[in-house]
Chains A and B, each alone.
Chain A
């Protein structure tokens, strides 16, 4: 019995260790995005995915030298964005938008959005409620 108990705790311990494998963080903004790397993307919408659990907007951004790069913008869930006035057809391919956010830690062309300004000038908080990122007050 004692042996069993020991084996059981060894098992639980081993399992707990696997949980410490670096997470890909979903709910904590700071785990996926680098809070020291603010990014402002000014570009043209190429794709708009109104999908759970996060919506994505892809934009072509032109740099000073005229080189175009396609960036992904990760925002909140459809439910949260609906309450802030976004709709599944709020963005169209070709729309000019500005997105403030923070670059992905893994170096990919992905930004965790904080604010998105539409072509009509409307500016909407685009972060996920409760993700702990800048601008999140827990009730957005």
Chain B
């Protein structure tokens, strides 16, 4: 047994993980909160992405919109992350070999990489294109990546429940 699977099996069988997995209400409640967290996160990040693509709020400066929206995005992220970890603990052993779960983790890694690159490059000079009619190609690219990756994460997350291994 690989150390990672060993760890997942241990997590799964902890009293905490077992309690969530076997619960009448805790599991569906956490699952619902997880979905609400994603809604807030992806809903708000989409507004920024659509702005970067020049598809909405073109008269609002990118940096101003960003400052107003991003705290909500982070709020959604925290809710999604904590509830996601709880769900994972309760299902770790099954999630380990689940192809959809593995794809979701890869997509999550990529979706984290995306803003990291964007913020250390193009976004640094945002003041030069804050209200530009056409945003830089790299900004639009980052927006497309973000929309696709988050979409993929939601789909992969949903498929976890259906893909038996």
A interface residue numbers (CB < 8 A to B): 1, 4-5, 8, 11, 15, 18-19, 23-26, 32, 50-53, 77-79, 82, 88
Does A15 contact B162, Cβ atoms closer than 8 Å?
no
Chain B residue with Cβ nearest A106: B164
27 contacts between A and B (CB under 8 A): A1-B54, A8-B53, A11-B144, A11-B147, A11-B148, A15-B148, A15-B151, A24-B162, A24-B163, A25-B162, A26-B162, A32-B162, A51-B21, A52-B22, A52-B23, A52-B90, A53-B27, A53-B161, A77-B27, A77-B28, A78-B22, A78-B24, A79-B23, A79-B25, A79-B27, A79-B28, A82-B24
Bound together, the chains give a CA A11 to CA B148 distance in angstroms of 8
B133 to chain A, nearest CB (A): 8
Does A4 contact B23, Cβ atoms closer than 8 Å?
no
Bound together, the chains give a CA A77 to CA B90 distance in angstroms of 14
Beyond the given pairs A53-B27, A78-B24, 8 more chain A to chain B contacts, judged by CB atoms under 8 angstroms and listed by A's residue number, are: A8-B55, A11-B148, A24-B164, A26-B162, A52-B27, A52-B28, A53-B161, A79-B25
A4 and B27 in contact, given A15-B151, A52-B22 (Cβ under 8 angstroms):
no
B155 contacts partner chain A, Cβ-Cβ < 8 Å: yes
Bound together, the chains give a CA A82 to CA B164 distance in angstroms of 24
A contact residues around B162 at 8 Å (CB): 23-26, 32
B interface residue numbers (CB < 8 A to A): 20-25, 27-28, 31, 53-55, 90, 140, 144, 147-148, 151, 155, 159, 161-164
Bound together, the chains give a CA A19 to CA B25 distance in angstroms of 29
B114 to chain A, nearest CB (A): 16
- Selected from A1, A32, A52, the residue in CB contact (under 8 A) with B21 is A52
B contact residues around A78 at 8 Å (CB): 22-24, 27
Bound together, the chains give a CA A7 to CA B77 distance in angstroms of 28
A26 and B161 in contact, given A15-B148, A18-B155, A52-B28 (Cβ under 8 angstroms):
yes
B11 to chain A, nearest CB (A): 14
A contact residues around B163 at 8 Å (CB): 24
Does A51 contact B155, Cβ atoms closer than 8 Å?
no
Chain B residue with Cβ nearest A24: B162
Bound together, the chains give a CA A4 to CA B27 distance in angstroms of 42
Does A51 contact B22, Cβ atoms closer than 8 Å?
yes
A76 to chain B, nearest CB (A): 11
Q: Give me the 3 closest cross-chain CB pairs, A-B, nearest first.
A: A24-B162, A52-B27, A79-B24
A contact residues around B24 at 8 Å (CB): 78-79, 82
Bound together, the chains give a CA A79 to CA B26 distance in angstroms of 9
Chain A residue with Cβ nearest B50: A8
A19 and B155 in contact, given A4-B55, A26-B162 (Cβ under 8 angstroms):
yes
Chain B residue with Cβ nearest A8: B55
Bound together, the chains give a CA A32 to CA B162 distance in angstroms of 9
A contact residues around B155 at 8 Å (CB): 18-19
